[in-house]
Copies of this chain bind each other. A is one copy, B any other.
């Protein structure tokens, strides 16, 4: 398998990106194409022993920044690392693309430079989140602020394929994010989507309320991108806030400092469990190629795990699976 990497995307590029890529090349036996400013990337690679590894560098003079208009940047910055990486993927010179750069630009690149799978109406950003009883995905977590029921049906199907092949869950449970558990609850979108999904998706278990999402008993949470982004960010925000407050409180007295010291393994274990770096990145489902958006603040380990995810998606043949399943759920 050949993986193309946007070496300049993310807060820790190119250092951590290159490091993660070199480690992935070794560990997963992959061919790597690093796209970025040649000198900078070369200087990073030099730091590691790459004997026997197949790592190619493709020069790209430009970089797309987080604060740029994604569509404009993708159209105009032809020499950016991200656009060149997309071109290589599109031309079949790579089997997957990974970037820790601007989410918007990766979405725009996926849709405009790569294109959607025939029959898929909308691409969906699909992050993996940690839950109490195991990880789960949200489809869509922000690519489409407004959706139609048919989009949600396709999200459900793609989520099912992905979770099955990449998280290795044979019979994943799929649920519709909603504000009540009964079928008739929700807004116009969820009511109509429930109707559509219930007879077409095998693993569909009905609605899931916000308070039950963190349990991780359901592996695919289906929703429009506005709702999904809100769930994702409140999820991260509340968890972050709680630990920030706890940390401050623990440092406030000698007694609590000692307590905190004794609980260090507990917090560490917990952090590991709730650590996004363990799960890699968010896949862009529905585009005609494997595209993974790694977390912007990815370190080498997180980036390596995002590459692992791409490999699992490739080995599982999820693009073919999605095309096949699409025929089954197709609605007139």
Contact = CB atoms under 8 A, between A and B. Distances in A.
Given A190-B226, A255-B265, 17 more contacts: A132-B244, A145-B188, A179-B230, A179-B233, A186-B226, A187-B224, A210-B229, A211-B234, A213-B237, A227-B230, A234-B238, A238-B239, A242-B270, A249-B270, A252-B266, A255-B262, A259-B262
Interface in A174-216: 177, 179, 185-188, 190, 209-215
Contacts of A185: 145
A214 B227 contact: no
24 contacts: A145-B179, A145-B185, A145-B186, A145-B188, A179-B225, A210-B229, A210-B234, A214-B234, A214-B240, A227-B230, A231-B234, A234-B235, A238-B239, A242-B242, A242-B270, A245-B270, A246-B266, A250-B263, A252-B266, A253-B265, A258-B262, A259-B259, A260-B263, A263-B263
Give the number of times this chain occurs in the complex, counting copies: 2
Contacts of A146: 187-188
Interface in A255-279: 255-256, 258-263, 265-266, 269-270, 273-274
Nearest to A214: B241
B240 A239 contact: no
A124 B253 CA distance: 43
A326 interface: no
A263 B256 contact: yes
A256 B225 CA distance: 40
A253 B268 CA distance: 14
A142 interface: yes
Interface of A: 131-132, 142, 145-146, 177, 179, 185-188, 190, 209-215, 224-227, 229-242, 244-246, 249-250, 252-253, 255-256, 258-263, 265-266, 269-270, 273-274
A213 B240 CA distance: 12
Contacts of A241: 131-132, 214-215
Contacts of A262: 255-256, 258-259, 262
Contacts of A245: 132, 270, 273
A51 B285 CA distance: 68
A249 B131 CA distance: 15
User: What are the 7 tightest A-B residue pairs by CB atom distance, in nearest-first order?
Assistant: A210-B233, A259-B262, A211-B237, A259-B263, A145-B187, A210-B234, A214-B241
Nearest to A266: B249
A230 to B, nearest CB: 5
Contact of A266 (B142, B179, B211, B250): B250
A179 to B, nearest CB: 4
A244 to B, nearest CB: 7
Contacts of A237: 210-215
Contacts of A231: 210, 230, 234
B249 A232 contact: no
A237 B242 CA distance: 13
Nearest to A265: B256
A147 to B, nearest CB: 9
A255 B265 CA distance: 10
A267 to B, nearest CB: 8
